[in-house]
Structure 1
Amino acid sequence: TPRWWGINVFVLLAIPFCVFMGSWQLSRFEDRVQDHRSATEQTAAGRKEAARPLSELLPVDKSTSGRRATVSGRYGKQLLVPGRELDGHGGYYVLTLLRTDGGKALPVVRGWLPGGADPAKAPAPPTGEVTVTGALQASETPGDNGVSAQGGLPAGQTAAISSASLVNLVPYRLYDAWITLDRGDSGMTAVPATAPANTGLDLKAFQNLGYTGEWFVFAGFVVFMWFRLLRREVEFQRDAALGLVPDEADEADEADEADEENIASPSGV
């Protein structure tokens, strides 16, 4: 029948579509797992390799993030980055802008301190020309690695380490990258390099895995509903063959008789 032609066409289109979408979400999850593994291996390898000049590693991407870079300059304005955990303890980063000979400033995380962000406890940066060596990192954005959105912070603090967040806080042109020192400066704890954004097994990765399950469940539901409709159709045809289903003419006659009775006895008695 035309009705069943439509049902069958819908089922034949819906099942491959659900399977395709589920497979695509699964491939996204597998890509994130592979990116996480590669980023972890790259970060570990980056700690062992010789440092290279900063200019050779820019711009920062997945292949250069975590690599050791070296750059010279003079320290300038200092900021604090609150709400940063290290080894399960709350604290903050001490971020100092390194003004290079090229005219730009590079954000340098000199170390981590426990507790609330306190400018009085943050060690002052060294004076004069310095050469720093550390892991190169891409600019952060809100949502990456637990980074909160900028807003409502006291003067001298920033939520994210990025040129977009720092451009209104410092009077320098900025590199779109930052460095975390191999060794913490002035007794501070060194901040380890992190994997690039969107390469970790975060909530987004497990959302892809959840969507995979949902699409395959949808495919199973389509098959279940098709069998249920088919079963009802078979039962209806069987009842009709046994005369258990009244035809439309009989139903019309019964309706007419009921109307005549209501007219003859308006009170319904």
Structure 2
Amino acid sequence: MYRFLLAPRWLAVSALALLAVPFCVFMGSWQLSRFDMRVAQHRTAKHDSVKIAAEAPVPLASVLPNVRAQVPGADSGRQISATGSYDAGHQLLVPDRTLDGRNGFYVLTPLRVGGGAALPVVRGWLPGDASAAERSRSIPAAPAGQVTVTGALQNPESTDTSGVSASGALPSGQLGIISAASLVNVLPYPVYGGWITAAHPSAPLKAVPPAAPPNSGLDLKAFQNLGYTGQWFVFAAFVVFMWFRLIRREAEARADAALGLLPEEDDGVPEGPGPGPGGVDAGPDAERTEGSAAHVA
């Protein structure tokens, strides 16, 4: 019944299916391995960030030797100690920042360190509206004199940073994005590329948890890999399904043909009276002509 599978056409179809199925399975397995790799990287980065945060503070100069230095990826979240004096005259508020599900703002005060440069320090978070708090003068003053601040080193923010709102112009004394690129326009001295969030703010300020390092979470690419995995496995199953379906249809068609159940093909003969003598159609006019001839006879 299935001897037709030995025909050249069916041998080619079967060979194509046998090649397509392993290829689809291989591609699906490869995409799954890419997803597993990204998950492992996420877990490793999370473990490293927790480990780094628990280490003893290191001097600012050991991580950021100058204002042009960028925050090393391995040092994001590391505890940094910096000594200098707060510049309360250039204090800034960062509005629309949430903490524990409540809306509020950051209090950012530049810390002037050696060489005249400033390290942006988020001294803490307060609930409510930044503009209203500034008008009511309810923001705690920064400590005077020389201080040593300890906090988690953070990467510069961008418009893609979670929680950042870059919509519209802000009132004077407020800042939308914490980065050297935005601070250089409002501060009269050089600014470090990174910033820190103070570990022990004075009441009523609340400590701002350090953000996760960039590209340390499960991004869209990880879920794309997972989606592609499912697609390739579906393709493999579809190839197997179509192969069996085609074989079944061919077997059923051959069985029907053996039993004489296939519909007869149209022979192309038109309906109506057949051709008369000499191959001429015997239509109504021909009948009248024949009748007249008989009457004359």
TM-score, normalization by structure 1: 0.75
The structural deviation recorded for 1:20 is 4.2
**C-alpha distance in structure 1 between counterparts of 2:273 and 2:150, whole Å:** 100
User: Cα RMSD over matched residues?
Assistant: 3.6
Q: 1:44 aligns with which of 45, 50, 68?
A: 50
1:30-109 matched pairs, under 5 angstroms: 30-58=36-64, 59-76=70-87, 77-109=90-122
SS of residue matched to 1:257 = coil
Q: 2:208 aligns with which of 182, 186, 191?
A: 191
Q: Which of these two proteins has the greater Rg computed from alpha carbons?
A: 2
The answer to which structure has the higher strand fraction is: 1
**C-alpha distance in structure 2 between counterparts of 1:147 and 1:141, whole Å:** 10
The structural deviation recorded for 1:69 is 1.0
**C-alpha distance in structure 2 between counterparts of 1:99 and 1:185, whole Å:** 19
Shift in alpha-carbon separation, 1:191–1:148, aligned structure 2, 3 A: closer
**C-alpha distance in structure 2 between counterparts of 1:186 and 1:81, whole Å:** 18
The structural deviation recorded for 1:136 is 1.1
Residue-by-residue CA offset, 1:195-226 (whole Å, 9 max, x unaligned):
21222346664454344334333332333233
Shift in alpha-carbon separation, 1:43–1:3, aligned structure 2, 3 A: same
Q: How many residues were matched structurally?
A: 258
**C-alpha distance in structure 2 between counterparts of 1:65 and 1:232, whole Å:** 63
Q: 2:128 aligns with which of 115, 121, 141?
A: 115
Decide which moves more: 149-158 or 86-95. Answer: 149-158
For structure 2, the 5+ residue unaligned runs are 1-7, 65-69, 275-281, 284-297
**C-alpha distance in structure 1 between counterparts of 2:198 and 2:272, whole Å:** 92
Amino acid of the structure 1 residue aligned with 2:50: A
Amino acid of the structure 1 residue aligned with 2:114: D
Q: Is the 8 A contact 2:105 2:127 kept in 1?
A: yes
Q: Is the 8 A contact 1:91 1:115 kept in 2?
A: yes
Which residue of 1 is the match for residue 167 of structure 2? Answer: 151
Residue-by-residue CA offset, 1:80-110 (whole Å, 9 max, x unaligned):
2233222232222222233332454322211
Residue-by-residue CA offset, 1:157-180 (whole Å, 9 max, x unaligned):
334323344444444433332211
The structural deviation recorded for 1:149 is 4.9
SS of residue matched to 1:135 = strand
**C-alpha distance in structure 2 between counterparts of 1:196 and 1:129, whole Å:** 30
Amino acid of the structure 1 residue aligned with 2:194: A
Q: Is the 8 A contact 1:11 1:226 kept in 2?
A: no
SS of residue matched to 2:243 = helix
**C-alpha distance in structure 1 between counterparts of 2:240 and 2:177, whole Å:** 49
For structure 1, the 5+ residue unaligned runs are none
Which residue of 1 is the match for residue 191 of structure 2? Answer: 174
